[in-house]
Amino acid sequence: MNLFTSSIITTLLMLTMPIILTSASTHKNKSYPQYVKTTVSYAFMISTIPMVMFLYSGQEVIISNWHWMTIQTLKLTLSFKLDYFSMIFMPVALFVTWSIMEFSIWYMHTDLNISHFFKYLLMFLITMMILVTANNLLQLFIGWEGVGIMSFLLIGWWYGRADANTAALQAVLYNRIGDVGFIMAMAWFLLNTNAWDFQQIFAIEHENLNIPLAGLLLAATGKSAQFGLHPWLPSAMEGPTPVSALLHSSTMVVAGVFLLIRFYPLMEHNKTIQTATLCLGAMTTLFTAACALTQNDIKKIIAFSTSSQLGLMIVTIGINQPHLAFLHICTHAFFKAMLFMCSGSIIHSLNDEQDIRKMGGLFKALPLTTTALIIGVLALTGMPFLTGFYSKDLIIETANTSYTNAWALLTTLVATSMTAAYSTRIVFFVLLGQPRFNPVIIINENNPLLINSIKRLLLGSIFAGYLIFHNITPTTIPQTTMPYYLKMMALAVTMLGFILALELNSTTQTLKLDYPQNPFKFSIQLGYFPIIIHRLLPMMSLSMSQKMASMLLDTTWLENVLPKSISYFQMKSSITVSNQKGLIKLYFLSFMITLVLSFFVLNFHE
Amino acid sequence: MLKIIFPTMMLVPLTWASKPNMIWINTTAYSLLISLISLTYLNQLSDNSLNFSLLFFTDSLSAPLLTLTTWLLPLMLMASQFHLSKETLTRKKLYITMLVLLQLFLIMTFSAMELILFYILFEATLVPTLVIITRWGNQTERLNAGLYFLFYTLVGSLPLLIALLHTQNNLGSLNFLLMQYWIQPLPNSWSSMFLWLACMMAFMVKMPLYGLHLWLPKAHVEAPIAGSMVLAAVLLKLGGYGMMRITTLLSPLTSFMAYPFMMLSLWGMIMTSSICLRQTDLKSLIAYSSVSHMALVIVAVLIQTPWSYMGATALMIAHGLTSSLLFCLANSNYERTHSRTMILARGLQTLLPLMAAWWLLASLTNLSLPPTINLIGELFVVVATFSWSNITITLMGTNIIITALYSLYMLITTQRGKCTNHVKSIKPSFTRENALMALHLLPLLLLSLNPKMILGPIY
């Protein structure tokens, strides 16, 4: 027992403090957001202690402290797994959240419920921490669902808007589809290994792991917005910008990738699932990159780029490099959060304008945001010696040199090239050229809350990759030599993307307007996905539930077969059987007979 | 056992002797005290049951349900105050008397040791419920609902009486404790099948099984708030409790006879939850969601494994509290907008923020968010059905998705969106209402700290 466990517990407990305190004080405190931000920053500082200790000594710890219950042979405890992944991820997530919280004090300052908002953000972070540090499947599931529900609340923050509510519901729906996979995996592990603890699951030899791993892959597909279950991610842009930043950088969407990374001891021996993962990731990264190419909403472009990067991470898991995928999660968090904050700064300055066609020439008006945006974009494309380079370049190199299917590799390379293209498009439309916005707008980025938070992430986007890359222990044997063209491949496709996009952007200014081509329509309609899936399926299932479940079965068949028919036959048969037919005239006439008879009998008695 | 039964009986004179302004407070406080006494039964020290007398006993299966029953009476009293505020004093007292009678019967049903005694009390609960529905419901359709309620359950349960008499003749005793030692495996014949059907159908109707569920939405929609609460929270659970008790009688036959009912439940679960997606009527939605949740319990009981029994017991308690809470929330909307239509009450979060928090928590527990006991129950049931047949996970999964959808659909329609003009002059939420919701949620949240208490017999 040393500083390691105690500082981790301190970090986790500290985060819960603001939530516990607000339930005690009923009055709204003005400085609550500031307080939450400071708590997170302290939590970050404390969490670096165990990280450094971990990097120095490499000790992994499992804290198992509260026995929840034992059901038959299954023991469930509150336990934390503090290994490579959770130790590195916690400081990164806390650092990024710290900056985002500082940013949202500025961004949300007009909101009346800002304390409430911060509480949600903090709970979102806490559930993510639970997810990352969990040592058994149930605890992981608590974090997993908690993240999903908190995202529902945060995306639907502006609850008066129908769009926000729809987007929030969409997020939960797609995540819930993934959850089914998770529950299936839990059930399978319980039945076959009789354990939910990771150590026990990994220790047992298995023959066929296709079912649980497919379940986990489905779960990751839902949470990390992979192809098929991706539409919620761009829709989630309806939430406030800080939420998008937090959602897309270090929490929620990387949870799916993280789950697969956690289960790599099982995945690395299963070729079927690996191939499925690889193909899924490759498809996602290409598809979403293609969608990003034509979007006009700045937040949507960045959202699609997140989705594309998530696809890349899944590809990395598919080629059996979980540690590399994890590295990309960490580096991606910095520049993606910063990109969202830059877009938030621009949107705020331009009076809530999100369309990049109505921006332009901002590099003079917003110098710091411009700097940050360009660096973020370059880091995203993997420009050498920025943060993204250390993971992205390595991923492409490893994919190039590994035994993998050429289709997936080619798809990934094309997507990488597209990353550069849409990045150029953002820079070209937002920063360069003539201003196309309303001249009355007063642009101001001189708030220290904004500047400091962006600066901090800016430093992270430049140096974090280097720092993380040089301090972690190598886990897989690196490729020592490779051909020159393979080494330069990642850079070359990126440059190609840059040049193509720049050229195209410049020439389109002079071209005359043409009827949109089919690929363009495919891209701007998001691959016709929302039109088909979001209209057809709900319409079918809802009309099924109305017509079949409700009208046909419930109110017609079940109602008629049992109660109605019984009462009908009862009535009919009672009418048939009974003597009384309602023939009043006849009945009264029958009195006549009696009367006449009695008349005769009585009169003629003598 | 008398220390619960007698105080409950004495609630009746308490009601009639109370001063007019004290009737609600007196009965609520007193019944809350009774529920505190019943908490001691939760502490089942060993695997044996607590035998109080020759007539009554509790074990770890019935104790949570018993406690739930006693816990619900003060809540029902709190919930009905507004509903009855315009009635005369005598009618109020009569109403309370009905609720007390119902609780009395329910307590004795859950703790009965003899099957015949159980049967009589099971039928006796119909009377006060029928009176509550048909006398204090709000619309004329309540008479029809009362008819449905009475006839479905009666027709379902009369064969049970014959089956019980037959068993008594054969076995010589219908004592729960003796039965498990004396019982012989049923021969594989047509008559045993009918015996199985006769024994199970009574409880299947009560649960209700899909296809026999028509009485439930009607009764729920038409009943006054206390009626809806007790129906959803306790009366449906009588079915599950009875099924778990009586399956010991029917030992080898269940595994074979269960198939059609399993299919019907699995299918009906999805049907009823998709009906929820199209409901405009708030109470009807909650009622259908009860049917869908109870289908899970039926499936779990029919599978007959320790895990599925644990799941069924946990789910019954969790659903009891959750659905009762949802009915209370629906009622608080109804008292303000005077309509059950959801779309008329939209955007209430702006006006009643604390109520919105209760709504949120209720919806989240309804869609079984971890680590609530709803999840424990549902997860165990899913695990049990997955081990029974792997394919069922697709149906279960679909149901999980739809459950989440309609719970959040309900939340979004009633709480989110723009506020409408006609609700702007509504009353604020009373402390009574907030306390009511909190008293529902508190056990739900606290039980998730130690779910073992409600898992029933842990084998």
Minimal-distance CA residue of chain A relative to B384: A187
Residue B155, exposed/middle/buried by CB under 10 A (0-12, 13-18, 19+)? Answer: middle
Which of B278, B306, B349 has the CB atom closest to A72's CB atom? Answer: B306
pTM of the predicted structure, to 2 decimals: 0.92
Selection from A30-44, A193-207, A544-558, B287-301 with the highest mean pLDDT = B287-301
CB spacing of B306 vs A162 below 8 angstroms? no
The amino acid that residue B136 corresponds to is W
How far, CA to CA in Å, does B68 sit from each of A158, B39, B71, B216?
38, 9, 5, 20
Q: Are A173 and A139 in contact (CB under 8 A)?
A: no
Mean pLDDT value across residues B144-164: 93
Beta strands in A54-144 (DSSP E): 61-71, 74-82
Radius of gyration of chain A measured on its C-alpha atoms: 32
Q: Is the CB of residue A188 less than 8 Å away from at least one CB of chain B?
A: yes
List the one residue out of A168, A440, A367, A99 whose CA is nearest residue A107: A99
Note the pLDDT of residue B422.
Answer: 83
Cross-strand pairs, B57: B51
List the one residue out of A277, A255, A245 whose CA is nearest residue A329: A255
- The token pair that represents B454 in the structure block: 């409600």
Using CA atoms, how far apart are residues B97 and B91, in angstroms rounded to an integer?
10
Min distance B172 CA to chain A CA atoms (Å): 35
CB spacing of B455 vs A176 below 8 angstroms? no
Contacts of B459 in chain A (CB under 8 A): 72
Residues 6+ apart with CB under 8 A from A64: A77, A78, A79, A80, A135
CB atoms within 10 A of CB A467: 12
Minimal-distance CA residue of chain B relative to A177: B401
List the one residue out of A154, A149, A173 whose CA is nearest residue A533: A173
DSSP A270-335: -HHHHHHHHHHHHHHHHHHHHHHHH--BHHHHHHHHHHHHHHHHHHHHHTT-HHHHHHHHHHHHHH
Using CA atoms, how far apart are residues B289 and B295, in angstroms rounded to an integer?
10
Contacts of A550 in chain B (CB under 8 A): 275, 278
Contacts of A218 in chain B (CB under 8 A): none
Min distance B74 CA to chain A CA atoms (Å): 26
List the one residue out of A593, A398, A574 whose CA is nearest residue A486: A398
Mean pLDDT value across residues B139-163: 92
Minimal-distance CA residue of chain A relative to B278: A546
Q: Is the CB of residue A152 less than 8 Å away from at least one CB of chain B?
A: yes
Task: Tell me the pLDDT of chain B averaged across its residues.
Answer: 91
Residue A513 pLDDT > 80, yes or no? no
Minimal-distance CA residue of chain A relative to B284: A550
Min distance B357 CA to chain A CA atoms (Å): 11
How far, CA to CA in Å, does B191 sit from each of B166, B186, B188?
11, 10, 8
List the one residue out of B414, B426, B437 whose CA is nearest residue B348: B414
The amino acid that residue A210 corresponds to is N
Using CA atoms, how far apart are residues B195 and B202, in angstroms rounded to an integer?
12
Residue B182: which pLDDT band, with cuts at 50, 70 and 90?
Answer: confident
Which of B214, B393, B400 has the CB atom closest to A559's CB atom? Answer: B214
- The token pair that represents A501 in the structure block: 């996009």
Q: Is the CB of residue A211 less than 8 Å away from at least one CB of chain B?
A: yes
Residue A26 pLDDT > 60, yes or no? no
Note the pLDDT of residue B389.
Answer: 92
List the one residue out of B107, B60, B31, B59 whose CA is nearest residue B439: B31
Residue A332 pLDDT > 70, yes or no? yes
Q: Is the CB of residue A72 less than 8 Å away from at least one CB of chain B?
A: yes
Note the pLDDT of residue A59.
Answer: 82
Contacts of A165 in chain B (CB under 8 A): 412, 416-417
Residue A511 pLDDT > 80, yes or no? no
Residues 6+ apart with CB under 8 A from A209: A266, A269, A270, A273
Q: Is the CB of residue A60 less than 8 Å away from at least one CB of chain B?
A: no
The percent of residues in chain A predicted with pLDDT above 90, rounded, is 45
Q: What is the pLDDT of residues B390-423, one digit of tens each?
A: 999 999 999 999 999 999 999 999 998 888 888 8
Contacts of B396 in chain A (CB under 8 A): 180, 183
Using CA atoms, how far apart are residues A280 and A259, in angstroms rounded to an integer?
16
CB spacing of A549 vs B271 below 8 angstroms? yes
CA A215 to chain CA mean position, Å: 17
Residue B123: which pLDDT band, with cuts at 50, 70 and 90?
Answer: very high
Which of A69, A183, A549 has the CB atom closest to B452's CB atom? Answer: A69
Using CA atoms, how far apart are residues B241 and B223, in angstroms rounded to an integer?
23
Taking a contact as any Cβ pair under 8 Å apart, which residues of chain A between 189 and 208 contact chain B? 190-191
Min distance A171 CA to chain B CA atoms (Å): 11
Peptide bond connecting A242 to the previous residue in cis, omega within 30 degrees of 0 = no
Residue A479: which pLDDT band, with cuts at 50, 70 and 90?
Answer: low
Q: Is the CB of residue A555 less than 8 Å away from at least one CB of chain B?
A: no
Q: Is B112 helix (H, G, I), strand (E, B) or coil?
A: strand
Mean pLDDT value across residues A509-530: 80
Q: Is the CB of residue A575 less than 8 Å away from at least one CB of chain B?
A: no
- Which of these ranges, A109-118, A328-337, A417-426, A504-513, has the smallest mean pLDDT? A504-513
C-alpha angle B34/B38/B41, rounded to 5°? 170
- Which of these ranges, A206-215, A512-521, B209-218, B220-229, has the smallest mean pLDDT? A512-521
CB spacing of A142 vs B418 below 8 angstroms? no
CA A336 to chain CA mean position, Å: 14
Contacts of B271 in chain A (CB under 8 A): 545, 548-549, 553-554
Using CA atoms, how far apart are residues A44 and A10, in angstroms rounded to an integer?
11
Mean pLDDT value across residues B48-63: 84
Q: Is the CB of residue A551 less than 8 Å away from at least one CB of chain B?
A: no
Q: What is the pLDDT of residues A358-416, one digit of tens each?
A: 888 888 889 999 999 999 999 999 888 899 998 998 898 888 888 778 899 999 999 99
Which of A141, A180, A188 has the CB atom closest to B401's CB atom? Answer: A180
> What helix, strand, coil percent values describe chain B, rounded to 5?
75, 0, 20
Which of B405, B415, B452 has the CB atom closest to A173's CB atom? Answer: B405
Using CA atoms, how far apart are residues B420 and B344, in angstroms rounded to an integer?
8
- Which of these ranges, B159-163, B255-259, B399-403, has the smallest mean pLDDT? B255-259
Q: Is the CB of residue A563 less than 8 Å away from at least one CB of chain B?
A: yes
DSSP B16-84: HHS-GGGHHHHHHHHHHHHHHHHGGGG---SSS-EE-SSSBEE-TTHHHHHHHHHHHHHHHHHHHTTTT
CA dihedral A121, A127, A130, A133 (to 10 degrees): -60
Using CA atoms, how far apart are residues B329 and B331, in angstroms rounded to an integer?
5
Minimal-distance CA residue of chain B relative to A566: B151
Note the pLDDT of residue A21.
Answer: 80
Q: Is A222 helix (H, G, I), strand (E, B) or coil?
A: helix
Residue A428 pLDDT > 70, yes or no? yes
Q: Is A5 helix (H, G, I), strand (E, B) or coil?
A: helix
CA dihedral B445, B451, B454, B459 (to 10 degrees): 170
Contacts of B390 in chain A (CB under 8 A): 211
- The token pair that represents A572 in the structure block: 């009919």
Min distance B278 CA to chain A CA atoms (Å): 6
Q: Is the CB of residue A552 less than 8 Å away from at least one CB of chain B?
A: no
DSSP B253: G
- The token pair that represents A116 in the structure block: 């409430």
Its ipTM equals 0.93
Mean pLDDT value across residues A254-262: 94
Note the pLDDT of residue B367.
Answer: 92
Rounded to the nearest 5°, which phi and psi values hold at B112? -65, 145
Substitution target from A22, A69, A147 for chain B, most B beta carbons within 10 A: A69
Contacts of A544 in chain B (CB under 8 A): 274
Using CA atoms, how far apart are residues B176 and B179, in angstroms rounded to an integer?
5
CB spacing of B393 vs A550 below 8 angstroms? no
Q: Is B123 helix (H, G, I), strand (E, B) or coil?
A: helix
Query: Residue A435 region, left (φ>0) first, then alpha (ψ -120 to 50), else beta?
Result: beta
Residues 6+ apart with CB under 8 A from A597: none
Contacts of A559 in chain B (CB under 8 A): 214
DSSP B87: S
> What helix, strand, coil percent values describe chain A, rounded to 5?
75, 5, 20
Contacts of A146 in chain B (CB under 8 A): 369-370
Residue A477: which pLDDT band, with cuts at 50, 70 and 90?
Answer: low
Note the pLDDT of residue A24.
Answer: 67
Q: Are A63 and A2 in contact (CB under 8 A)?
A: no
How far, CA to CA in Å, does B14 sit from each of A472, B10, B70, B427?
74, 6, 17, 32
Query: Residue B211 region, left (φ>0) first, then alpha (ψ -120 to 50), else beta?
Result: left
List the one residue out of A287, A294, A161, A162 whose CA is nearest residue A233: A287
**Could you give the maximum distance between any two Cα atoms of chain B, in Å?**
68
Min distance A600 CA to chain B CA atoms (Å): 53
C-alpha angle A49/A51/A55, rounded to 5°? 120
Which of A72, A188, A545 has the CB atom closest to B278's CB atom? Answer: A545
